[in-house]
Each structure stands twice: as C-alpha cells, then as structure tokens.
Chains A and B, each alone.
Chain A
Amino acid sequence: MAVIAGRPNRGALLPSRLSALSSSRAGSLAIFIIRRILWMIPIVFFVILITFFLMHLAPGSPWDRTGGRQLSSVVTHNLDIKYGLNKPEYQQFGLYLWNVAHFDFGLSYQYEGKTVTALIGEGVPYTATIGVLAFLIIVPIGVLLGVLAALRQNTRTDFITMGFATAAASFPNFVVGALMVVVFSVEMARWTQHAFFLPAADFGLDDHLIMPVITLSLLPIAYTARLTRASTLDTIRQDYVRTAWAKGLSERLVVLKHVLKNSLIPVVTTLGPTFAFLVTGSVIVETVFNIPGIGRAFVVAVTSRDYPMILGTTVLFSIVIAVANLAVDVLYVFIDPRVRLT
C-alpha cells in the first residue's frame, strides 16, 4: 500500500479486496455503481425535503371538499389527529423520514386504511407494462427512422420520415389518443356493426394495449428519430467513416460497424430520461384510456392534497430517474471505449 507525501493513495483505505477490484475494469464499474447508489440517499432526502415543504405551502387542506357539504371543524380536527397533522411540521417531517428509513410510507388520506406502498404497488404494473412496451417500440423505430433519414439525406425518404417526426412531435397526445378512440373504437364499431374495433378504454393484456402504447410512443419516436438523424449525419462525415467507404466496405458494414455505434451515444443519453418518463406514467394517456396507473394516481394525489401519496410517488419517481441515469452512464462504457468511470 503506497503512501505518497504522507497521504494514503487513492483507494488505500479500501479493504484490500475492494482495492484489488478497483484496478480491474469490472471492479471500477462495481465501485462506481455502489457509489452512485449511495449518492441516492442524499438525493432522496432533498427530494423529500423540498416536496414536503412545497406541498404544505400549497393552499388548501386535504379535508377541503370541491363543493357542497364541507367537513365540520370537529371532524377535520379528529382527522388531523388520526393522520398526525396536528403536530408541528418539523415533527411531521422528522417522523416521516424515520418511517421512510423503515420503508413505511404511511397511509393514504384518500383511501381509508390503505398504505401508500400498496397503492403504488397496484399502479406500477399497469404503467410499467405500457411504458416498457412503448420503450421497446421507440428505440428500434426511432433509431431506424433517424439512420434512414440521415443516409438518404435530402431525398424523399428523408422528407417523409422527418415530416412524420415533426407531425408526431407537434400533435399533443391527448389529441392523438382521443382521435384514435373516435376512429378505431367508436366509428369502427359503427361501420363494422360491432364486429371489429379496438376497445376504447381500460387495461388488458391484449388489443387494449395497442392505442395507449402508440399514443405514448409517438413523441419519443419523433424525438429519437431527429436526434439519431443529426448525430448520424455528424458521424458519416468523420474521417474514419470516409476511410471505411474508401476501403470498399459494403454500406451495411459501414453503417452497422462504424456509424451506428458512434452516432448512438447522444441517443443513449436521452434514452435514460425517456425510459424514466415512460415508466412513471403519462397522466394524459392514463386518463384518455382509463388506465389505473401511477401517473394518474400522482396527479389525483396532488389535486386532493394526499400528502403521503404525493411524497411516496415523488420518492419513487426520483429513484427511477436516478437509476435510469445510472444505467445510461454504465451503458456508455460498453458503447464508447473512451469513457472511463470514476
């Protein structure tokens, strides 16, 4: 163990096993991942801190009703006691942190006797199914369209794919979703005398998935396609690509082996946040197609000031985003040999 100028060398304080690890590529990756996971603790802490105080600052109490008979002060007082809202806010915050450290996210205010963990657990499978399916469509289609457009720059293929991308990015998904329902459910049912049509709403592991997944994918496909096109155009002008062409390699080989790997780096950077966005749920898609997912649950929690549910979903979202970004950083290592993780 080398000591330089009285200071232990980097890694010297690590147990010898770990320091042996850190010298290898896989080892440094493992340490990088562990460090990033530990970093999530302060991140989640600040997410909780900011969310907690912002949400208590927002006007309106969880017990206010949208209209009609408001709960009397007797009842709201007892509800405050029931859910611990009668305590000072710093105490509530401390208690919440203590409970979160024990993986207890509390009881929802909206649903009598239901824990936040259970509510989130109910919503995640729906949202994740649609999000993951959308992601599986977005990556190949987006990249394919982008590469095609770049290789055939300023041809009809380029104009059509980019025209599609611009249109897909411009139409808000509530318009696309509602329009698809009208065409493929309502009108189709009418034309075919209810023989063939897509279900207008609800979740199901069958044709119910088609319209929500398409609606959710359009914007990210457009975005990915444009990004891929730009970076591919950049890559194909590089000297090494020109060399590859000059060597007389086939187009397929040049594109797959030399262009794609390098042009994908900026795309991969955005795929992390895109994935996080997809699996944390789209409120609009979940509302239009009546999918009981986590995105809608979060918005309902915010509008009804269901504090534990707001905090629980925010913590989940922050973890998902952090993990997705971590995954992107790790992916770099495999795509771009120049990248070294420290």
Chain B
Amino acid sequence: MQLGTRIRALALASAGVFVVAACGGNNSTPSLNLAPAAQQILRVNTGVEPNSFDPTQQTFTYEAAVGRNTFQALLQAKADLSDVQAAAAKSYDVSSDGLTYTFHLQPNAKWSDGKPVTASDWVYGFQHFLNPALAAGYVDPFFDGTIAGAQNYGSVDVSSASAIDSFLSGLGLSAPDANTFVIKLQHPAAYFKWVATLWVAVPLRKDVVESAAGGTFPSTDTTKPEVWANKASTIIGNGPFKISEIASKDHVTMVPNPNYWGGTAKLQQIIYYYISDGNTEFSKYQTGALDIANVPLADVTVVKGDAVLSKQAHLYPQLTTYWMDFNAKKAPFDNPKVRLAFAKAIDRDKLANDVQHGTAKGIASFIPNGMAGYDTSDNTQSFDPTAAKKLLSDAGVTAATLNNFKLLTRNTTGSKTLNQFIVDQWNTNLGLNIQLDVIDSKTVTSRIRKGNFDIYGPSGWGADYPDQQDWMDVWFAGSCGSLNFGCPTLAGYDALVQKADTELSQSQRNADYLTAQKMLIDQAAGAFIYQPYEYDLVQSYVSFTHTAFDDQYAPGDQNYFSAYITTH
C-alpha cells in the first residue's frame, strides 16, 4: 500500500464494524430516517485526482477510492477482517494442493451498460492488468509471485507483440464457462484470497476498450488500451456506482449503477473533490460544503475544544505502522545493539500525545493493532533510556562517533515536526547531539533508495490486505531499497517468511510470522514508533458503515453502497 501524500488505510482497534450515524446511534432502529433523493449527495475530499480511472493502473489509496466503487473485485474483506466474503464471486473453492482457485461468479452480474459480466471479461481484465508493456504499478507485489506463468513478467520483451501475447496466453487464467473463473497459482499461497480482494483484480470489457481505442491494437501499444478510461461514457464497470462526470483537477461524480447485481445504492451522487490543502478542506467542511473531512494536525486541539465540531469528530485507527530506518550497511548501525539502543530511547507515548495530539498510538512492534499478527508480548523495543545507554556502551560506540550522523528528513511539516521530536529524544536520552538533514521529498526518496543516508524516517507501511504476508516481505533481503531502506541482515528471516507464505495451515503460518516479527523487533530492523489514527469530521446527517482497513481514503468509502443521508 502506498503511503503517499496521505494514508487512508484504516483499521479498527477492537473489532468489527463501526457505525457513524445521526443522533447518537439510533441507526439500529428499523426506520432509516432517509432524506429525500435530492439530498442523497455525499461530498468527500480525496485530495488528489486519480492518475487513471482504469482500476488496474491505480496504485494510490485516493485512486482506489474511485476504483473500488466503480469496479468490483472477486472477494471483499469481512467487516472484522477475520476472513474474506463474497463480492463479484458468489463463492470460491480451493483445490487440496492449494494451487487452483475456482471462483463462481454472481450469476446475474451486469455491467453498468446492462450487458452480463462473463468469465472471459475476467480473463481479459487480468490480462490487461498483467500486460508488462502497460507497467501497472500493483502487478509485481502480488500477481507476478502468485499467478502461474506470471513469474516471467519481468523477462518479457515489451517491444515484441508476440512475446507479450504468448506470455499473456500462458498465464494460469481460464474461463471454463460463462460463470466460472479459474486461477492457477505457481505455489500454494493461503493469502491469495486477500489478493483477490484488491481493486486492481477486476474484469474489463474487451469491446469497450477496443472501440474507445478506435479498433484493435497490438499488445505493445501503451496508449490506446487506456483511452477508454479518460471518458465517463466509456468507463463501463461492474461496481455499485458508475462515473457520471469527470471534472479534471476539480472533482469526479459517481451515481448508482442501475444494473448492479446487488441492487441500487441509496446515495444518488458521490462527489470526490481534489483539495490538496488540508486547511482548505477543513474550512470547506466548516462552511458545510463537505460532508466528511480530515482534521489537519494543527487543528486537532481546536476541534477537540469546539462544542459543535468535537461531536462530529471520530478517531479511526489505520492499519499502518511507522518506524525509523538505520542504514545497516554502515558501521555502527550494522550492529543490532546500536539500533536497539536508538529504538529504546524514544518515548512513544509522549510522541503520540504531544506530537500527534492523541491521533496516534505508540507501538514497539511491527504489525499494527486490528489485523492478524498484532502482538505486543515482545517488549524489547519499549522505552527504557537506562537500558538504551547501556546497550550503546556495551557496543563500544561513543557519542562523538554518533554525532557525525544525521537524520534524513523530508521537507514536509509532518516529517520535520516528528523528526525534531525523535532527535530530541535521542539527544536527551542517549546524551548525543544528532542533527536533522532536511531536503526535498523526491531527493530524499532517491537517496534512501540508493542507501545514501545514516538514519531516515519516518518509514511506513499500510496494509494492502490484513494478512501478515503483506507485511513481512517488507524486510526480505530482496526488498532492500524498494520496501525497506535500512537493509538489515536478518539471518534465516527470508526462509522462514517464505515458508509461512506457502504454508497452507493458518495456525502454522501465524506461528512462523510471529517468530519472524520477533526477529524484526529484537534485532531492531527498524525502530517501530507509532500507529496513526485518522481524525475525521463527519456531518451528523451522514450514515455509513466503517469497516476497518477496507476504507481506501475517507472513512466508509468501501461501503458507500449502503451509506445514506438522513433527514436534516
């Protein structure tokens, strides 16, 4: 999951479903108190215009917020994240060797133009997505490692149409009949059911793509296959909503898809605005021009002290963890003791309360609260300045050596404030004098990818889906420079995680991932610092079901099908 400009992978701390409703939870009463149809309009800010309205090409949460509503994946997460449930597939079977997934599609599923959705549309959608010439950003983390034949994704000659065609036709995708979609895997992958919930794994209409492109095109073509996604009239989806208007750079409007198999949504319009400035979003909410808005960090105390706004504010945990990276290819950070000393010298509760104004929770482990694998039994990284100092002296590292190092910081308010707090903690608790090195964001990314830094943070990870596999591969040796930047050497870690990834028994997987997480904590692969919460304002007349991580950007955006506006 991209932790981009703003992260909206949301999780739920305790369990299950969170209902935000008018008038203090009278949502359980059978009468919905529905506002008239003309008022069934939901106005939300997603911050940035989607780079594409083709869900297979989307990689950011603000894009998937549109993709998830206009197209529907095979499966979706249950509200409590314990398992998957039916979506575009009514049910699915897994062969006993764990290699073949058979999806039984909803028999009366229709496209937004009324034509039936067939299994061959699914094959076409997956092939479009897996075409290496189109270079979709979300292919390689999940699909080239799972779908049979896709392991050759990286070696296909993208200038040769025949090479691409033979790669695509060799993929383990088939449609034995109109309602059955079969996917063969390279190796057993118990987490594949979660992969099938991703917004990129959707069907596409070959006839629509080709007619928008003005005819058939070779698979090497990179522009014609995307023409359809630029016009509302040719974005034909299988989701509960369809796009009615694309006002570039300003907003996108979605209306109910009357042909959706599950019925018609109550909301008559969803408008996603692209307001990049948090203060502008907040002002607009206060004038009543937005129904849901995020509270900028600087205004959290204002909202908490405001009689009206504080009643509309909700705290939603996110399935995200932040940590600090130490360049483990450089002495003395190649020594786990030194890294651990730094990890133990951060007062995480103070961070959550003072820096994040209570919109975060300190965490000293990797997997966040709200998903499988969350475990706080290992407190090796917990705040303990005395033990931290002892670790440093045991490692034989002097303050003079460490003072030469800098904390690489992105030139954003959030990063600067956080990192100033972190260095203050280190300088106070370890008796050091480390400085910040603040540079523009793109340059920071380019430097950390090349390993050209001492300490960097905050690094973060947000769940793509609530399975540990999505998290543990961050620390593979092969993920150095792309998913993790400290690149610590963790003996036996890769083999253990790979074993758990292909293991079919869930209890064995959980046990293996737990051992792997212990390695990350004990050897301080990173100094895990906090789990963020989303602090959002929701107008009292908006009713929606908030399901943990499944929300892509704004709370409830995965269940807008069941959302509605109450009389007001």
A residues bordering B, Cβ < 8 Å?
58-61, 64-79, 81-82, 107, 110-114, 119, 122-123, 178, 181-182, 185-186, 189-190, 194, 197, 199-203, 287-290, 292, 296-297, 303-305
Contacts and interface: CB of A to CB of B under 8 A. Distances in A.
B223 A113 contact: yes
Give the top 5 A-B pairs by smallest Cβ distance, nearest first.
Answer: A292-B249, A60-B442, A112-B52, A74-B154, A68-B3
B449 A202 contact: no
Interface of B: 1-5, 7, 49, 51-52, 54, 57, 59, 132-137, 139-141, 144, 153-154, 158-159, 222-223, 226-227, 229-230, 248-250, 273-277, 279-281, 283-284, 286-289, 410, 440-443, 445-447, 449, 459-462, 481-483
Nearest to B287: A189
Contacts of A202: 250, 273, 284, 289
A287 B48 CA distance: 12
Given A113-B229, A199-B289, A70 B483 contact: yes
A110 B51 contact: yes
Contacts of A64: 442, 445-446, 449
A64 B440 CA distance: 13
Contact of B280 (A78, A79, A181): A181
B443 A68 contact: no
A304 B483 CA distance: 19
Nearest to B58: A112
A93 to B, nearest CB: 21
B340 to A, nearest CB: 24
Residue from the set B59, B133, B135, B141 with the largest chain A CB neighbour count within 10 Å: B135
A69 B447 contact: no
A190 B275 CA distance: 22
A216 to B, nearest CB: 16
Contact of B226 (A81, A112, A288): A112
B249 A197 contact: no
B2 A189 contact: no
Given A186-B286, A290-B277, A61 B446 contact: yes
B449 A200 contact: no
A186 B287 contact: yes
B135 A75 contact: yes
Given A66-B3, A70-B482, A181-B283, 14 more contacts: A59-B447, A64-B442, A64-B446, A68-B4, A70-B449, A74-B153, A122-B249, A199-B287, A202-B284, A290-B275, A292-B248, A296-B276, A297-B249, A303-B441
Given A112-B229, A186-B287, A65 B249 contact: no
A65 B250 contact: no
A178 B298 CA distance: 14
26 contacts: A60-B442, A60-B445, A64-B446, A65-B445, A66-B5, A66-B410, A66-B441, A67-B2, A68-B462, A69-B141, A69-B483, A71-B140, A72-B482, A75-B136, A82-B222, A112-B54, A113-B52, A123-B249, A181-B280, A189-B286, A194-B287, A200-B286, A202-B273, A287-B276, A290-B276, A296-B276
